[in-house]
Amino acid sequence: MSIFGFLFIGLMAGWLAGRVTNSAGWDLLIDLLVGVIGALLGGFAFYALGMPVSGFFGGLVAAMISAMLALFAKGFVKHGL
């Protein structure tokens, strides 16, 4: 996958994960950044678990799952347990 495809999937995953976790306001930039990082980490994590990710939708699902986990963690840190 090209770097532009990777960035596009990451940005989309960050935006979608932000909507699912009810992130709003200036957090959009953080959501997008978390999505790009989630695309990278999600791909590695799924591969390590024996579930290689391929294609646009596979990459999007893996990135969105990891982005959602990271956004939930961000919420716990920001607002406390």
Domain ranges for the chain, please list them. Answer: 3-76
Nearest CA among 37, 33, 26 for reference residue 62: 37
Long-range contacts of 14-18 (CB under 8 A, 24+ apart): 14/38, 14/63, 14/67, 16/60, 16/64, 16/67, 17/64, 17/67, 17/68, 17/70, 17/71, 18/71
Instruction: Give residue-wise pLDDT tens across range 13-53.
Output: 878 877 887 765 557 787 778 777 777 787 788 888 888 77
> For residue 57, with 0-12 CB atoms within 10 Å meaning exposed, 13-18 middle and 19 or more buried, which class applies?
exposed
Residue 9 has pLDDT above 60, yes or no: yes
The predicted pLDDT at position 55 comes to 80
The predicted pLDDT at position 69 comes to 82
Instruction: Give residue-wise pLDDT tens across range 51-76.
Output: 877 788 877 788 888 878 877 777 77
